[in-house]
């Protein structure tokens, strides 16, 4: 087990990377005029997964910073989320359930929200390690807004993915090859105990 200072350094780097993502997102959203304010949808009710142990651990750090009452509330909602989402999936339906960390439409752990939460909305792309380029048009509201633009800004996630993968490797250490790939909703991350890595 390596020392806590190194873990805290990794968390600081993750937080810095999150800020860079936020800046890139805000630049693209600003050019398009996209804001989630007043949107008839709320993407926090979408069903999606997260994929890194370091983000999982950082999220749990955020949870630990909450009051006991709030922690209990989040955990109860997360358990209910997992129960309902499994029931929907068993019926072949895509769950649409509000994230357990969302109160009245707002994320209660905004500083700790994960990469996927930060990147959704604007058009974006990334180049996979096998050189295949993946492109996403952005959310429905964004597509309506940029339909009249000639030069649509596209957020390139490639560097962010690469930097996150480096932090993940440093965080998990040599166990990275033996551990299962993370593929969990945020609710599952709250309900499940993460396996032991270098730092937990």
Residue span binding ligand SF4 (CB under 6 A) among the ranges 5-13, 139-147, 150-158, 174-182? 139-147
User: Binder to ligand SF4 among 20, 41, 144, 196 (CB under 6 A)?
Assistant: 41
Told to check if 120 binds ligand SF4 by CB under 6 A, we report yes
Our finding on whether 191 is near ligand SF4 (CB under 6 A) is no
The answer to whether residue 121 forms part of the interface with ligand SF4 (CB under 6 A) is: yes
127 phi and psi angles, rounded to 5 deg: -105, 120
Question: Does position 95 bind ligand SF4 by CB under 6 A?
Answer: no
How is the chain classified by DSSP, letter by letter? Answer: ---HHHHHHHHHHHHHHHHHHHHHHHHHHHHHT---TT-S--GGGS---B--HHHHHHHHHHHHTS-HHHHHHHHHHHHHHHHHHHHHHHTT-------TTEETTEETTGGG--HHHHH-SS-EEEE-TTS-EEEE---HHHHHHHTT-SS---EE-HHHHHHHHHHHHHHHGGGGGTSPPP-B-HHHHHHSPPPP-S--
Q: Which residues in 53-82 contact ligand SF4 (CB under 6 A)?
A: none
Residue 189 main-chain phi, psi, to 5 deg: -65, -30
User: Residue 113, interface with ligand SF4 (CB under 6 A)?
Assistant: yes
Based on the shown chain and the rule CB under 6 A, indicate whether residue 101 belongs to the binding site for ligand SF4.
yes
152 binding ligand SF4? (CB under 6 A):
no
Structure-block tokens of residue 140: 């429905």
Residue whose CB is less far from ligand SF4, 6 or 140: 140
The reply on whether position 36 binds ligand SF4 by CB under 6 A is yes
Nearer to ligand SF4, 20 or 196 (CB): 20
Binding segment for ligand SF4 (CB under 6 A), chosen from 77-85, 87-95, 97-105, 123-131, is 97-105
Residue with token string 């440093």 = 170
At closest approach, how far in Å is the CB of 36 from ligand SF4?
3
Q: Phi and psi of 134, rounded to 5°?
A: -110, 135
Residue entry with tokens 């983000």:
55
Can you tell me which of 13, 22, 31, 42 binds ligand SF4, judged by CB under 6 A? 42
Q: Is 117 in the site for ligand SF4 (CB under 6 A)?
A: yes
Task: Specify the residue, 5 or 147, whose C-beta has the smaller distance to ligand SF4.
Answer: 147
Q: Which residues make up the interface to ligand SF4 (CB under 6 A)?
A: 36, 39, 41-44, 99, 101-102, 107, 113, 117, 120-121, 139-142, 186
């Amino acid at each position: 087990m390596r020392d806590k200072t190194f873990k805290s350094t990794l968390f600081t780097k993750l937080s810095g990377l999150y800020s860079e993502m936020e800046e890139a997102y805000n630049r693209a959203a600003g050019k398009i005029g996209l804001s989630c304010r007043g949107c008839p949808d709320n993407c926090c009710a979408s069903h999606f997964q997260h994929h890194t142990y370091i983000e999982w651990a950082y999220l749990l750090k955020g949870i630990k910073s909450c009051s006991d009452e709030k922690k209990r509330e989040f955990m109860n909602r997360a358990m209910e989320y997992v129960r309902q989402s499994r029931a929907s999936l068993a019926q072949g339906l895509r769950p649409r359930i509000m994230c357990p960390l969302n109160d009245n439409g707002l994320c209660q752990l905004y500083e700790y929200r994960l990469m996927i939460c930060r990147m959704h909305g604007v058009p974006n792309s990334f180049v996979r390690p096998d050189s295949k380029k993946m492109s996403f048009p952005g959310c429905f509201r964004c597509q309506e807004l940029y339909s009249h633009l000639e030069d649509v800004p596209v957020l390139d996630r490639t560097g962010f993915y690469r930097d996150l993968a480096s932090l993940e490797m440093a965080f998990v250490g040599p166990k990275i090859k033996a551990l299962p790939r993370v593929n969990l909703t945020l609710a599952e991350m709250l309900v499940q105990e993460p396996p032991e890595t270098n730092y937990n």
